[in-house]
Structure 1
Amino acid sequence: MSLDESNLTDAVIGRMEGCESPRLRQIMTSLIRHLHDFAREVELTEDEWFEGIRFLTATGRMCDDRRQEFILLSDTLGLSMLVDAINHRHRAGATDTTVFGPFFVEGAPALPHWANVSEGIPGTPCFVSGTVRDTGGRPIAGAVIDVWQTDGVEGLYDVQRREGGMYGRGRITTDAQGRYAFRTVQPVSYPIPDDGPVGKMLRKMGRHPWRPAHIHARIAHPAHETLTTHIFVKGDAYLASDAVFGVKDSLVVDFVQHPPGPTPDGGRSELRFSTAQYDFALAPA
């Protein structure tokens, strides 16, 4: 059988007769058809195809235990948010989800309420509090909130620094009234790592690499669906052009500015500080 652009796609798909997984067969059939249709639509040249291979190879070489360049690629192409939207369609009353991102680390320390997750890092003091409830408004006790963020000046996560230990991370458990509270530094806008192939791609596309200021939160409870989301700082310059398309209006929070004085944890700050309040709602498992 002679193969050409008119029959090659069906021939490739036909070779999967021995595939035992219906789901894998469905995914690979669709992937092959879309890849072949893409090549036909843009009349892909051999030089362009080789450049694509080089780009993917370089992306893989940038990945290690501190950096996941393929997640950055997925995020900046909007694929991560598309997958997120597909998988969380039916969550009426629950807090909106958003991208997981490449900087989560297991094993953040368990901390009491009002503990400082930003100990030793620069930035404006910030106090964050609220509740975790179910979609019926009932408080959820024992929900574990993983939070992680950058420092408050350079916008770097701990894993982006070769020196020093963990910072900007903690696990807070809600009390009987579903309440949580922690101290940190107010997050700042930051560029995603753009010194690799994804950054080069963005520049060639005429795009910037910046994300608006935010705090990540991942909330888990045995009786409820795990929530992965952010809270964003109201008024940030990049809310409308987030490099990874992760902003949702419901997640934008007013970080209220205060002069030096009494703080919500019962202490006192000699510096100006901010406060943010946000209530999360979890969908049933």
Structure 2
Amino acid sequence: MTATPPAGSDQQRRIEDELVRTVLASFRDTPDPRLKEVMEALVRNLHAFIREVRLTETEWEHAIAFLTAAGHLTTDRRQEFVLLSDVLGASMQTVNVNQEATADATEATVLGPFFVDGSPEIPLGGDMASDAPGEPCWVEGIVTDTDGNPVPGARLEVWEADEDGLYDVQYDDDRLAGRAHLFTDDQGGYTFWGLTPTPYPIPHDGPVGVLLDRTGRSPMRASHLHFKAIAPGLRTLVTHIFVDGDELLPSDAVFGVKQSLVKRFERQPAGTPAPDGRALAGRSWSRVRFDIVLPKASAAEGDDPVAVRA
């Protein structure tokens, strides 16, 4: 068996260069030009990474085993690959690339692994928390376009973790709590009850958790409340709002924090009357305002079919 020439030799560089050219040529006849562009860029960058770090065969085997474990752990209730994308900043960078800043439009951030379709509809002022444990939070705001026009009938999907740091899909009893959808009124306004967000760790009992541990990183997410805003003719927004003063804002595990999304959650002592007269049984609560500004959708984006009220 012939020994591999040293990495720095001209012969070795020629061998490695030739393989890159050969692999790139294999995609030459790809009929879809966008697929061809993506695959060629993937090959160039993947091979450049392998060559830069001089990846060992054992390390590549570990990488394959890591991805295999992520696949085995992924179900319709847990998405380990989304977690991996999140902790590498790939999810956030994809959002940045695709959601360019537009006038004063609300900034987007990561979807996260816990959004699921089929949330229950609640009326304006309804309770999306259901029986999830936590401190009540009154959320209000208005949805407008970038010209300041109110957007009536916009669909808002909202979801969050409970005070124990868990989403409903992380429990094994099929509960439905801490998620809902509602529609803005004729003036674009909305109100609902949720929970005061609290910090929590992303699932770290799988391969992504091992990666974080091995690299000395925390699995903790800054406190937040998720939103997805959908309206005909306007760009669909996926975002969340964060709690001003949370010490985890600079170190959010998935790099999702943007300063414009940090909001003041005003704590209300027990006995303070609720905006809608809700009886809170002597409990403390909080309130926050989040006004959402949606830009026009591009021709390529079109309308999100979920925006239509069933």
Place the TM-score, normalised by the shorter chain, in its bin: over 0.9
Whole-angstrom distance in 1 between the partners of 2:260 and 2:101: 16
Q: Which residue of 2 aligns with 1:120?
A: 131
Q: Which residue of 156, 170, 180 corresponds with 2:166?
A: 156
Q: Which residue of 1 aligns with 2:10?
A: none
Whole-angstrom distance in 1 between the partners of 2:61 and 2:15: 20
Task: Give the aligned CA root-mean-square deviation in angstroms.
Answer: 1.1
- Structure with bigger gyration radius: 2
Tell me if structure 2 keeps the 8 A contact 1:131–1:279.
yes
Q: Which residue of 2 aligns with 1:78?
A: 89
Q: Which residue of 243, 246, 252 corresponds with 1:233?
A: 243
Q: Kindly tell me the number of residue pairs found equivalent between the two proteins.
A: 282
The amino acid of 1:256's aligned partner reads E
Q: Which residue of 2 aligns with 1:243?
A: 253
Q: Which residue of 2 aligns with 1:284?
A: 296
The structure where strand makes up a greater share of residues is: 1
What pairs with 1:124-203 in structure 2 (closer than 5 Å)? 124-151=135-162, 153-203=163-213
Following superposition, the deviation at residue 268 of structure 1 comes to 3.6
The percent of aligned pairs where both chains have the same amino acid is 47
The amino acid of 1:67's aligned partner reads R
Q: Which residue of 2 aligns with 1:7?
A: 18
Whole-angstrom distance in 1 between the partners of 2:116 and 2:56: 41
The amino acid of 2:134's aligned partner reads G
Following superposition, the deviation at residue 148 of structure 1 comes to 0.4
**1:18 counterpart = 2:12:** no
Following superposition, the deviation at residue 266 of structure 1 comes to 2.4
Following superposition, the deviation at residue 164 of structure 1 comes to 3.9
Tell me if structure 1 keeps the 8 A contact 2:101–2:107.
no
Tell me if structure 1 keeps the 8 A contact 2:167–2:178.
yes
Give the TM-score of the pair, scaled to structure 1: 0.97
- Aligned residue for 1:215, secondary structure, equals strand
**1:81-122 deviations in Å (ceiling 9; x for gaps):** 111000011422110000011111111111111111112121
The amino acid of 2:284's aligned partner reads R
Tell me if structure 1 keeps the 8 A contact 2:166–2:200.
yes
Tell me if structure 1 keeps the 8 A contact 2:242–2:261.
yes
Q: Which residue of 2 aligns with 1:204?
A: 214
The amino acid of 1:231's aligned partner reads I
What pairs with 1:51-62 in structure 2 (closer than 5 Å)? 51-62=62-73
Whole-angstrom distance in 2 between the partners of 1:99 and 1:213: 14
Whole-angstrom distance in 2 between the partners of 1:8 and 1:164: 51
Unaligned runs of 5+ in 1: none
Whole-angstrom distance in 2 between the partners of 1:268 and 1:45: 63
**1:273 counterpart = 2:285:** yes
**1:229-270 deviations in Å (ceiling 9; x for gaps):** 001111112100000000000000111011122101123422
- Aligned residue for 1:13, secondary structure, equals helix
Tell me if structure 2 keeps the 8 A contact 1:155–1:187.
no
Q: Which residue of 1 aligns with 2:11?
A: none
Q: Which residue of 1 aligns with 2:55?
A: 44
The amino acid of 2:192's aligned partner reads F
The amino acid of 2:181's aligned partner reads R
Q: Which residue of 2 aligns with 1:93?
A: 104
